[in-house]
Structures are given as C-alpha cells and as structure tokens.
Chains A and B, each alone.
Chain A
C-alpha cells in the first residue's frame, strides 16, 4: 500500500527491514527442508539396500530342485500292514541305479546316490502310505534332490570351476546334465520350506516349526501382557495417588523398557526354568519372558493414551454422576483403546523379532518336530534365522534370507494392523 519511496513513515521502514531479512529466512528454510529430505532419502536408501540384498539372496529358497524317479513298488517287500518296516531307501536306490545302468563301482554308486536328498525315501514312504492301492505297480515320483544339486541348478555353484574347488565332481555334473536332457530334473515351488520343521539338510528344512513356536509364544505374550499392561496403566494413571512411591514405580517402568532384552532372558532362566522348573525350550517360558519384556512398553503406551483423553469427557461423565470406575470403564478406556492397541501391537511386533532372551531359555535348541502346544520344545522365527545363519551349508544361506522375508512379512502385517486399528477406532471430540 505504502510506496517504498515514502521512507519517512515508520511502517515502511519496518517493511524494508523485513524485506532485507527475507532472503536469509527463506534460505534457512530451504536448507532445513533439504536436510530433512536428505535424512529421509538416506533412510529409504538403507531400507532399499536391505530389502534388495535380502530378497536377492532369498528368493531362490522358494524354489526347490526335484528329480523324477521311476519306481516299481515291488509287493514282496511292501506289507501294507507294516509299512514302517519297509525298505523305501532300497526302492529309491534301485530306481536311481536303474536310470544309470553303467554305474557299477561302489564308490561311484555312492556318489550317484548323493545326488538325492535323504528325504527322498521319506517322500516315497509318505506317498505309499497315502496310496496303498498302488503297491505292485510302477510309478514315477518327484523326489527332492540334495542341496548341492539344488545349489548347482540355481547357479550358486559354478560348473566351470576346477573340480577340486566345488562340492560336485565332474561325473556328478555329467549325471545331472544327463537328467536335465531327459527332463527328469526340474525346479518347483518349495512347499517343504513352508510345511517342514528344522532339519540338518537344507533341502528338507522349513520354517513351519519356528512359525508355530513364534505363534504359541506370542499368544502367551498377548494374553498375559495386554490385560496386565492395561490394568497397570489404568491404575497408575487414574486411581493411584501421586506420591513418591508411584513416582518410583514410574521411573522403574521407564527403566525396564530400556533394559537389554537378554537380561530378561537371564531372569527367565533363573526364575521360570530353575526355580519354577517349567519345561525348557517351551513357548510357554518364551511367552512369559517376552511378557516381562513387553509389559513396560504397553504400560507406557497405555498411560500416554489415557492421558490424551480430554478432561472434558471425564468432567462430563462425573457431572452426570458416574463413579470414577464408571467414568474410566465407560468413557476413558474406550477412547484410549486405539492408542493402547497400537502400543500393544508395536510391543508384540518387537516381541516377535526378539532373539536374545529366547537363547537364554533354550529355545535355540535344534528342534525338528513341529510344536503342538505351549509346553512342547520349540524355537521361534528370529532364533531360526540365527540358527540357519550359523550353519555352514550353502543351502542354508538362502533359507536364512527367506526366513527373514517371512519374518518381515509378519512384522509388516502387524504394524499395518496397528495403523488400521488406530484409524478405525479413532474418535473425534
């Protein structure tokens, strides 16, 4: 409004001063924004590198090399009433030797046999148990190949390396090439990985056992930590008198949230295993330990959620004559629930990814069986990753990455659930 040349008036001088500093202010703003962008790009880049490396080395685990065998189910060795005593291994061997009749030498036969996984005989046994009517007939069955063959087929073993530097010799490679020519070897979707427990053989190892273990552990954690955490948060926030004692409790809870998780594992070892003598390696104890670890997180999140409920709602409830408990139960708690659920799910996601405390209570044991209950020995997904990452076989490397991918998928699902619940139950006032 005022023209710039009208310098006598005070307001114009203010405008000039503002103009002078304006460029500098905008510059600072731009710099600040650029810094933020840099930070976000850096973290996104790191995330991308992580995902690409895990996916790149893990995707091949979802495929498995199988070899087709033509097997004659000789009725003389197969009694339908006593299949457990049948020599399925012999049948598999015979079938393989029949495919390569030129192999006579005992050493060579052993090499030939090592192309097949030790799981081939189990596969045949399972098939015969499921179809006893096929006894006496010939059939062709796809059985899993050894992990070295698997690695070769996936290109993780270089065929052009000198013979001494690879796990398969020239003769074995020539057999595999012969099988390839006949179309008797192929890669198929790896169902074993999703249905089996752990194994010493990479081609037979799966994550189902660890997933079940994680599931049971998390169920225990959830049913203990959610009610206890919510009750503790409600009491501390709504009912407890504010004095030195409750201050000490609050400080302690905040401290517990930051205690290294392995300490909780040691506590679990000392208290739950050694004192109460609960079953070792069980998901029950794992759940108890993770409950201790998750509780502070849930209590802190719960208290924050309760604090964020506006006082006007509390006054409204008290104003119509609700008792304190009614006020909390009918009005405050429902409004705080989304925040509490979010805190709980984030705590659970952390519990799902927790390894260290489980190592201390024996959930790191090598367990092949799928756990069927809370007291069965079991392991958990992150511990399984730890175990596989530690194994020397090349085949476990891709399994490790694949297991990480599965764990990440679960984490993403849980965190999305947290966001969804918050959005759904969030109320405005």
Chain B
C-alpha cells in the first residue's frame, strides 16, 4: 500500500509539472452538468472507431447509450469504467453486435473495424464475431471437454484441417492463456469442472483460439478472487502485444493496472476519455473526479 501510494504521488507530481496551470487545476474541472465527452476520444492509429453511437432498448423506449464517440487503438487496452447501469456493458456488446440477440435493441451511429462499418447491411455477423472475440462476465465454458471448448471455434471456422493441427492450436491457445500446465493432463475432462479463474482463462483461450483482432472483455474478473484476477491481468498485459483489448471493469485499480486509456461512462454518456494516468490522477471532469475519489458509484 505504501509503495503504491508513493508511485501515485510520484505520478501526480509528474502530471502536475506537465499541467500548464497546476495551481488552478481544481477550478478547471468541467461542470458536472456538462454531458459532452471531455478528453481525446480519437487516436490516429485506431483499430475500431465508434462515432455518435446511440443504443435503444425496448423498441426505442429506453435510451441506453447516448452519442458515444471513441476509438480503440491498435495494441492498446482500453478500460471502460463507470457506476452500475451506466451503459458500459451495453456499449462493449455493440462492438461485436452481441446486442443483435436482444429483442427490441437498436443501435445507431457508425462503428468501424479498420475501414468497414460493422453495422453495414452487407456485413455478415458470423465472421465479424470471429474477428472480434468476447469474454463474458461469468465464466461460461461449454459443458464439453476442455479440448472441445478450445477446438470448437477453430473447427466451425475451418481454421484447422486435421487432428494434428487442432491439437497444436489447442495447446498453443492454452499456453497463451497460461492454462496449459494446469490442464494438460486432463484435456478430456469437462471444462465446467475447473475452478472459476481457470474457467475464465479457458474462455480467454477459447477466444484467442479463433485468432481475433479485437478482444472484448466484459468484467472478466468480477467473479474471481484476487489471485486469479492477478493471473488474468498479467495475461491481458501479454495479449495486448497482439490484440486490441476493450475491458469493462468495476475495479478502478484494475483499470489503472491494465489499461493505457480509460473511458468513464455515466448514465449512457461517455463523460471523459483519456490516458489512464490522466483519468485517475488529474481528471478533467467533475463527475470523473467524484467517481474515482469514491464520492459516488
């Protein structure tokens, strides 16, 4: 704890020196009633770009996301934080069109993956979801063997031709998810028999087995103990070398540990977005400041 606070202090100091008007920082905070996004939403080197995204539930009766614009950069981990019900899960589910399955849900705006609009009528959602993988809040392995859990995705997409290739891919995926040593002797046993943390890593292995370009994680550690969480966070660090990762989290510590950029959502609005350090150390918006200092949420 002591060390951690020291680091933060150090970072604050560096931030403060970067701030052109350090003394007036408090008064510079954007008023809490301003709903426009503060901060740099766009990055030059983006993998996914969302522009003016609106999401409605119940056939347009309820608006869940209001005019959100943000980019997900290449090889970047972007964290989405905010109080419960702020729409961060809804937003992340738009990114691989998982909301299509919800009756009465409508998405407006543009979401680009590289240069293609994923909500274009011509886009087939099946290959899209192969390109944008998703890890869910509750570990949800298939009630099949560990091996079949990993092999299922590659098989249906035709990424593997024979048993040997499948074996290799399964081993490789499990190794990248840091699960290989724990399960290599029981690949034929059901995936549901693993512990919670192992199950979640199995789900991550299942996602990366399809070799996606973007991985969406919807509170991947909310059901896990601190040790399992630490393992997964290390894994995310490792994975960002190859993938772009968007992670929804309730834990601000986790966001600060794993992400490069952070987006703060509040009641369907993207309030503030920026480099993680900046969000946590010198937020620009009053709401962000209140949230990260624990005044609400």
Please give, as numbers and ranges, the residues of chain A lying within 8 Å of B128 by CB-CB distance.
321
Please give, as numbers and ranges, the residues of chain B lying within 8 Å of A316 by CB-CB distance.
136, 140-142, 203, 206
Is B157 touching A335 in the complex (CB atoms < 8 A)? Answer: no
Decide: A326 near B156, CB < 8 A? Known: A320-B207, A320-B210: yes
Decide: A427 near B143, CB < 8 A? Known: A321-B157, A330-B152: yes
Is B127 touching A319 in the complex (CB atoms < 8 A)? Answer: no
Q: Which of A313, A314, A315 contacts B143, CB < 8 Å?
A: A313
Is B153 touching A313 in the complex (CB atoms < 8 A)? Answer: no
Complex CA–CA separation, A286 to B11 (angstroms) = 83
Is B136 touching A318 in the complex (CB atoms < 8 A)? Answer: no
Is A428 touching B143 in the complex (CB atoms < 8 A)? Answer: yes
Please give, as numbers and ranges, the residues of chain A lying within 8 Å of B135 by CB-CB distance.
319
Is A318 touching B98 in the complex (CB atoms < 8 A)? Answer: yes
Complex CA–CA separation, A428 to B144 (angstroms) = 10
Please give, as numbers and ranges, the residues of chain B lying within 8 Å of A429 by CB-CB distance.
140, 143, 192
B23 to chain A, nearest CB (A): 49
Please give, as numbers and ranges, the residues of chain B lying within 8 Å of A322 by CB-CB distance.
126, 152-153, 156
Please give, as numbers and ranges, the residues of chain A lying within 8 Å of B136 by CB-CB distance.
312, 315-316, 319
Decide: A321 near B143, CB < 8 A? Known: A242-B103, A312-B136: no
Complex CA–CA separation, A312 to B133 (angstroms) = 15
B215 to chain A, nearest CB (A): 10
Scan residues 294-347 of chain A and give those whose CB is less than 8 A from a CB of chain B.
310, 312-323, 326, 330-331, 335
Complex CA–CA separation, A310 to B143 (angstroms) = 11
Complex CA–CA separation, A323 to B140 (angstroms) = 18
B267 to chain A, nearest CB (A): 25
B138 at the interface (CB under 8 A from A): yes
Number of interface residues of A (CB under 8 A): 21
Contact mask B196-216 → A, CB, 8 Å, 1/0?
Answer: 000000010011011000000
The bracket for how many chain B residues form the interface is 20 to 34
Please give, as numbers and ranges, the residues of chain B lying within 8 Å of A319 by CB-CB distance.
96, 98, 129, 133-136, 207
A99 to chain B, nearest CB (A): 73
B101 at the interface (CB under 8 A from A): yes
B64 at the interface (CB under 8 A from A): no
Complex CA–CA separation, A320 to B202 (angstroms) = 13
Complex CA–CA separation, A323 to B207 (angstroms) = 15
B130 at the interface (CB under 8 A from A): yes
B104 to chain A, nearest CB (A): 9
A422 to chain B, nearest CB (A): 15
Please give, as numbers and ranges, the residues of chain B lying within 8 Å of A330 by CB-CB distance.
152, 156
Is B126 touching A315 in the complex (CB atoms < 8 A)? Answer: no
Decide: A313 near B206, CB < 8 A? Known: A319-B134, A321-B126, A321-B130: no
The CB with the most chain B CB atoms within 10 A, among A316, A320, A326, A429, is that of A320
Contact mask A342-365 → B, CB, 8 Å, 1/0?
Answer: 000000000000000000000000
Is B156 touching A313 in the complex (CB atoms < 8 A)? Answer: no
Complex CA–CA separation, A320 to B153 (angstroms) = 6
Decide: A318 near B142, CB < 8 A? Known: A312-B136, A323-B126, A428-B192: no
Q: Which of B138, B142, B210 contacts A321, CB < 8 Å?
A: B210
Complex CA–CA separation, A242 to B207 (angstroms) = 31
Please give, as numbers and ranges, the residues of chain A lying within 8 Å of B138 by CB-CB distance.
312
Complex CA–CA separation, A315 to B206 (angstroms) = 13
Complex CA–CA separation, A316 to B204 (angstroms) = 11
Please give, as numbers and ranges, the residues of chain A lying within 8 Å of B203 by CB-CB distance.
316
Decide: A321 near B127, CB < 8 A? Known: A315-B98, A316-B203, A428-B192: yes
A272 to chain B, nearest CB (A): 40
Q: Which residues of B contact A (CB under 8 A)?
A: 96, 98, 101, 103, 126-130, 133-136, 138, 140-143, 152-153, 156-157, 192, 203, 206-207, 209-210
12 contacts between A and B (CB under 8 A): A313-B143, A315-B136, A316-B141, A319-B96, A319-B134, A319-B135, A320-B133, A320-B153, A322-B126, A322-B152, A326-B156, A429-B192
